[in-house]
C-alpha cells in the first residue's frame, strides 16, 4: 500500500508535511509514480496554484508594520490588566531567582508579553493564578500529568509516606513493590530509580558503554534526551557533531554520532561504525515532531542492533505510559534492551527510571546472588550514585501512579494490542480535538496543523518556527482561559471533560480568528508552494547504495516504510 498520488500531491502543495518528509515520501515512490506527482505539482504551479489548497503565511517579526505594532501595544495594555501581579512578580524577584526557561522563545517585539504566570492553585484540569484567573490546563506539566492535578489517590499516597517519615537510607516495602510493578507493566526484567530523567539517560548510556567497552553514541536529529554532557550534541550541515550549548565540551560531542531519523541510510552508517558504537539512543516518537512515526525504520534498527550486538535504548520520557501501558515499545511491538522513563511515573515528584534486560541492569548492582552459598556478584559494575534516587516520597507517588494504571487497565495492562483501557479513550479524545481544529485550520486556510501521539498533541505552524504570530497565539489563548506550555507540547489528562475540550476548541478558534482578522496571516507570495524542481532533483541525490542497502533492496524497504507508517497513521487518526 502506498499513499494515493493525488493525496501526496495535495500534501506537498498545501505543505501539510515539511520538505524533509515530502522528499522522503517522494523518493519512496517508483519512477512512474514520481512522474505523476511532478506532473500534478507542475500543473498546479502553472495555474498559479488553482485547485490546490494554498494556506496563508504566518507573519514573523520581519513582516511587522506600524499597524501591527500598534495592535501589539494595545494587547500589552490589555494583558497588563489581565495578569498584573504575575508580571510584577517577575520584575520584583528576577534579581535572586534564576529561571532557565525565562529567555526561551524570547522575541524582542513581544518582550513586554513574555513572562510566566504565578500560580496559586491547581485542581483537576484547572490551574489558578495570583490574579484570580482560572485556566483549563493543557500543558500537562510538561508530560508529567496523566490524571489531573491533585489526583486524590496520589495525594493520599504522598501524605501517608510523610506520616511514616522519609528516611533516605535503607529499603522500604514500597521500593520493592514499585520496581516489581514497573517491570510487570513495561515488560522489562529489572528497574532502577534515578533522581531525574536526565540522570536516567546519562546512566543508561554509561551502562551501555560499560557493557560494550565502546565509546560512540548514536542519536537522531530532532530528538531530545536532556542536557547531560553525554548526549548534548547536534550536527552541522556537513554532518559534524558539535555541542548544544556553550560550556559543553567538543570532546563530548566528538563521541556522539547524530543521524537523520527515519532515513534508511542511517542504518548503513550504524553498520559501518558498529565496532565503535556503544549504544543507539532513540526517542521513538520525537516530542518535538510527533508526526514522525517511522515504525519500519525502528524495526529495522532493532534488527540491526541485535545483529551487531549494540544495546538499543528507547527514551520513553514522553511516550512511556501515555499511549498505552507499555509506551511506544508496546504500541510498535519493539522491545528495547533498555528504556529510560520520567515524568508520569513520578506523579509530579522528580524522578527517572531505567528499565531493561538483566544483563545490562546487572552492571549497576552485580546482579543477583544468595547468602547461603558461595555465589557472588556475577557481573562487573559501573558507578552510580544519587541521594534521592529512592526518596520514599517519590517512590510512594510512583507506586500510586503505577497502581492506578494497573487498576484502570486491568488485564489490558499486559498488552498494548487492541488496548481497551482508559488510555485508549484518552487518546481518542485527543484525536477528536485535533481533527476538529485541523478541519477549522484548513477551512480558514491557516498554516497550522495539530500533530498527535496518544494524548500528546502539538501545534505546528507550517514554515514557521516560533515567529511573532505563533507567540501571540499562545498569549491570546491564555487570555481565553487556556494555559499551554511555551515549549510546545500539550497533553490531555483523565481530568479533562468533554466540556473542557469544547472550551479549548473554542479558545483556539477565537484566538486564531483574532490573529487572522488583525492581519497576522497574509496571502502567500506568488511563487510555487513547493518547488517541484526540488522533488525532481531529489531522485538524482538518492545516496549510492551500499552493500547492505542493495542486498536488502533499498527501494522495497522505503516502500515498506511508507506503507507501514501510513497504515499506523490512518489507524490512529493522524492522516488528515
Judge if 330 and 457 occupy the same domain: no
- Work out the percent of the chain whose per-residue pLDDT is above 70: 82
In contact, 68 and 520? CB cutoff 8 Å: yes
Residues 428 and 333 in one domain: no
CA neighbor of 351 nearest in space, from 174, 117, 490, 128: 174
pLDDT at 45: 53
Same domain? For 251 and 344 the reply is: yes
Question: Is the residue at 536 inside a domain?
Answer: no
Q: How confident is the model at residue 536 (pLDDT cuts 50, 70, 90)?
A: low
The answer on 17 and 92 residing in a single domain is no
The pLDDT tens digits of the residues spanning 399-422 come to 999 999 999 988 767 666 666 688
Is-contact 52 14, C-beta < 8 A? yes
Q: Burial-class residue 510 by CB neighbours within 10 Å (0-12, 13-18, 19+).
A: middle
* Residue 570 cell numbers, joined: 490512518
CB–CB of 530/250 below 8 Å?
A: no
pLDDT band of residue 300 (cuts 50, 70, 90) is: very high
d(CA 482, CA 134): 9
C-alpha cell at 287: 516530542
Domain boundary residue, one of 375, 409, 443:
409
Name the residue with higher pLDDT: 160 or 573.
160
The whole-number pLDDT of residue 570 equals 45
C-alpha cell at 378: 556475577
Which has more confidence, 575 or 61? Answer: 61
The answer to whether residues 67 and 41 belong to one domain is no
**What's residue 548's pLDDT?**
46
pLDDT of 11 reads 63
130 contacts 118 by C-beta, under 8 angstroms: yes
Q: Where does the pLDDT of residue 355 fall: very low under 50, low under 70, confident under 90, or very high at 90 and above?
A: very high
CATH number of the structural domain spanning residue 316: 3.40.640.10
User: What local confidence, expressed as pLDDT, does residue 557 receive?
Assistant: 46
Rounded mean pLDDT, 271-275:
97
Residue 173, Cβ density class (10 Å: 0-12 exposed, 13-18 middle, ≥19 buried): exposed
Q: Which of 301, 325, 286, 517 is nearest to 419 (CA)?
A: 325
Out of 221-235, 237-251, 410-424, 530-544, pick the least confident. 530-544
CB 178 within 8 A of CB 353: no
| Structure confidence at residue 458 (pLDDT) | 95
Mean pLDDT of the chain, nearest integer? 86
Give me the phi and psi of 234, to 5 degrees please. -135, -170
Whether the per-residue pLDDT at 190 is higher than 90: the answer is: yes
pLDDT for residue 401: 97
Same-domain pairing of 427 and 468:
yes
pLDDT score at 189: 97
SS3 308: coil
Quickly state the pLDDT bin for 185 (edges 50, 70, 90). very high
φ/ψ of 259, rounded to 5, equals: -115, 170
Query: Which of 178-187, 492-501, 555-564 shows the lowest mean pLDDT across its residues?
Result: 555-564
pLDDT for position 24: 67
Q: Has residue 373 been placed in a domain?
A: no
The pLDDT-based confidence of 545 (bands split at 50, 70, 90) is very low
Q: Can you spell out the DSSP letters for 110-126?
A: GGGG--PPPEEEEEBTE
**Range of lowest pLDDT (194-208, 311-325, 374-388, 525-539):** 525-539
Per-residue pLDDT of 81-94, as tens digits, reads 999 999 999 999 99
If one counts every other C-beta atom within 10 angstroms of the C-beta of residue 513, the result is: 14
On whether residue 236 sits in a domain, the answer given is yes
239 and 302 assigned to the same domain? yes
Is it the case that residue 10 has pLDDT exceeding 70?
Answer: no
Q: Are residues 326 and 460 in the same domain?
A: no
> For residue 485, what pLDDT is reported?
84
Strand extents, DSSP E, 413-455: 448-453
Domain of residue 485 covers 58-149+421-522
Q: To 5 degrees, how large is the angle CA 322–CA 323–CA 325?
A: 70
Q: Closest by alpha carbon to 296, among 307, 287, 284, 286?
A: 284
Which of the given ranges, 24-28, 419-423, 485-489, has the highest pLDDT on average?
485-489
Confidence of residue 303 (pLDDT cuts 50, 70, 90): very high
Q: What interhelical angle do 358-365 and 197-212 show, nearest 10?
A: 100
Asked if the structure places residue 121 within a domain, the reply is yes
Residue 64's pLDDT is 94
- Whether the predicted pLDDT of 68 surpasses 90: yes
Is the domain of 50 the same as that of 75? no
Model pLDDT, residue 526 = 59
- In the chain, what percentage of residues exceed pLDDT 90? 64
Q: Does the reported pTM lie above 0.85? A: no
pLDDT at 4 (0 to 100):
61
- CB half-sphere exposure, 546, CA atoms < 13 A: 10
Residue 67 lies in a domain: yes
Residue 459 in this model has a pLDDT that exceeds 90: yes
pLDDT of residue 49: 47
Cα gap 229→253, rounded to integer Å? 8
**553 or 122: which carries more pLDDT confidence?**
122
Separation between Cα atoms, residue 459 and residue 430, nearest integer Å: 13
pLDDT band at 569 (very low <50, low <70, confident <90, very high): very low
Confidence at residue 9, expressed as pLDDT on a 0 to 100 scale: 65
Section 486-504 average pLDDT: 94
What are the pLDDT digits (tens) for 214-237? 999 999 999 999 989 989 998 988
Q: In the 3-class helix/strand/coil scheme, how is 323-360 assigned residue by residue?
A: CCCCHHHHHHCCCCCEEEEECHHHCCCCCEEEEECHHH
Number of domains observed in the structure of the chain: 3
Together in a domain, 310 and 193: yes
- The better pLDDT of the pair 565, 495 is held by 495
In a domain? residue 129? yes
Least confident window among 47-56, 124-133, 542-551: 542-551
* Residue 380 domain flag: no
Q: Is residue 379 part of a domain?
A: no
Average pLDDT over residues 165-185: 91
In the prediction, which pLDDT does 574 show?
A: 40
Report, as an integer, the average pLDDT of 410-437.
Answer: 84
Residue 307 vs residue 420, higher pLDDT: 307
pLDDT of 538 > 90? The answer is no
Q: Which pLDDT does position 431 carry in this prediction?
A: 95
> Pick the residue with more confidence: 309 or 422?
309
Q: What is the pLDDT of residue 299?
A: 96
What average pLDDT does the segment 253-264 reach? 94
Q: Which residue has the higher pLDDT, 6 or 450?
A: 450
Q: How, if at all, do strands 134-137 and 233-235 pair?
A: unpaired
Whether 66 and 92 map to the same domain: the answer is yes
pLDDT given at position 244: 87
Residues 347 and 205 in one domain: yes
Residue 211: count other Cβ atoms within 10 Å of its Cβ.
21
Amino acid at each position: 500500500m502506498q499513499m494515493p498520488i493525488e493525496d501526496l500531491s495535495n500534501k506537498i502543495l498545501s505543505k501539510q508535511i515539511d520538505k524533509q518528509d515530502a522528499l522522503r515520501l517522494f523518493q519512496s515512490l517508483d519512477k512512474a509514480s514520481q512522474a505523476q506527482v511532478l506532473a500534478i505539482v507542475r500543473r498546479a504551479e502553472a495555474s498559479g496554484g488553482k485547485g490546490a489548497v494554498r494556506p496563508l503565511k504566518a507573519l514573523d517579526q520581519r513582516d511587522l508594520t506600524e499597524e501591527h505594532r500598534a495592535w501589539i501595544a494595545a494587547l500589552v495594555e490589555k494583558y497588563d490588566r489581565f495578569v498584573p501581579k504575575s508580571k510584577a512578580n517577575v520584575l520584583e524577584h528576577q534579581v535572586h531567582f534564576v529561571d532557565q526557561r525565562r529567555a526561551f522563545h524570547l522575541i524582542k517585539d513581544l518582550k513586554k508579553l513574555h513572562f510566566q504566570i504565578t500560580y496559586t492553585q491547581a485542581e483537576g484540569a484547572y490551574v489558578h493564578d495570583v490574579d484570580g484567573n482560572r485556566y483549563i490546563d493543557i500543558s500537562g506539566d510538561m508530560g508529567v500529568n496523566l490524571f489531573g492535578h491533585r489526583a486524590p489517590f496520589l495525594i493520599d499516597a504522598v501524605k501517608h509516606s510523610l506520616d511514616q517519615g522519609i528516611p533516605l537510607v535503607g529499603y522500604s516495602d514500597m521500593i520493592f513493590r514499585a520496581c516489581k510493578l514497573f517491570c510487570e507493566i513495561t515488560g522489562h526484567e529489572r528497574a532502577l530509580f534515578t533522581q531525574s530523567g536526565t540522570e536516567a539517560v546519562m546512566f543508561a548510556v554509561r551502562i551501555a558503554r560499560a557493557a560494550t567497552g565502546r565509546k560512540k553514541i548514536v542519536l537522531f536529529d530532532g530528538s531530545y534526551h536532556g542536557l547531560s554532557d553525554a548526549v548534548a550534541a547536534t550536527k552541522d550541515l556537513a554532518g559534524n557533531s558539535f555541542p548544544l550549548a556553550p560550556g559543553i565540551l567538543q570532546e563530548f560531542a566528538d563521541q556522539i554520532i547524530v543521524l537523520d531519523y527515519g532515513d534508511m541510510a542511517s542504518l548503513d552508517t550504524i553498520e559501518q561504525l558498529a565496532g565503535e558504537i556503544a549504544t543507539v539512543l532513540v526517542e521513538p516518537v520525537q516530542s518535538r515532531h510527533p508526526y514522525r512515526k517511522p515504525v519500519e525504520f525502528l524495526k529495522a534498527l532493532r534488527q540491526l542492533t541485535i545483529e551487531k550486538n549494540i544495546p538499543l535504548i528507547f527514551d520513553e520520557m514522553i511516550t512511556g505510559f501515555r499511549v498505552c501501558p507499555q509506551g511506544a515499545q508496546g504500541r510498535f511491538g519493539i522491545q528495547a534492551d533498555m528504556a529510560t522513563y520520567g515524568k508520569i511515573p513520578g506523579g509530579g515528584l522528580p524522578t527517572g527510571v531505567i528499565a531493561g534486560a538483566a544483563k545490562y541492569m546487572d552492571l549497576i548492582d552485580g546482579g543477583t546472588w544468595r547468602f547461603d552459598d558461595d555465589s557472588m556478584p556475577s557481573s562487573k559494575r559501573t558507578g552510580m550514585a544519587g541521594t534521592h534516587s529512592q526518596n520514599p516520597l517519590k517512590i510512594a507517588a510512583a507506586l500510586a501512579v503505577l497502581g492506578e494504571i494497573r487498576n484502570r487497565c486491568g488485564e489490558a495492562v499486559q498488552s498494548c494490542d487492541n488496548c481497551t483501557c482508559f488510555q485508549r479513550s484518552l487518546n481518542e479524545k485527543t484525536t477528536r480535538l485535533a481533527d476538529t481544529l485541523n478541519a477549522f485550520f484548513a477551512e480558514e486556510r491557516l498554516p497550522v496543523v495539530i500533530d498527535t501521539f496518544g494524548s500528546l498533541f502539538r501545534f505546528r505552524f507550517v514554515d514557521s518556527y516560533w515567529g511573532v504570530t505563533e507567540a501571540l497565539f499562545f498569549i491570546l489563548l491564555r487570555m481565553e482561559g487556556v494555559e499551554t506550555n511555551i515549549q510546545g507540547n500539550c497533553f490531555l489528562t483523565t481530568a479533562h471533560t468533554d466540556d473542557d475540550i469544547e472550551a479549548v476548541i473554542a479558545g483556539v478558534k477565537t484566538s486564531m480568528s483574532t490573529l487572522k482578522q488583525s492581519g497576522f496571516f497574509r496571502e502567500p507570495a506568488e511563487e510555487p508552494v513547493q518547488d517541484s524542481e526540488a522533488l525532481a532533483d531529489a531522485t538524482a541525490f538518492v545516496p549510492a547504495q551500499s552493500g547492505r542497502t542493495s542486498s536488502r533492496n533499498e527501494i522495497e524497504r522505503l516502500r515498506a516504510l511508507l506503507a507501514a507508517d501510513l497504515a499506523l497513521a490512518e489507524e490512529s487518526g493522524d492522516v488528515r
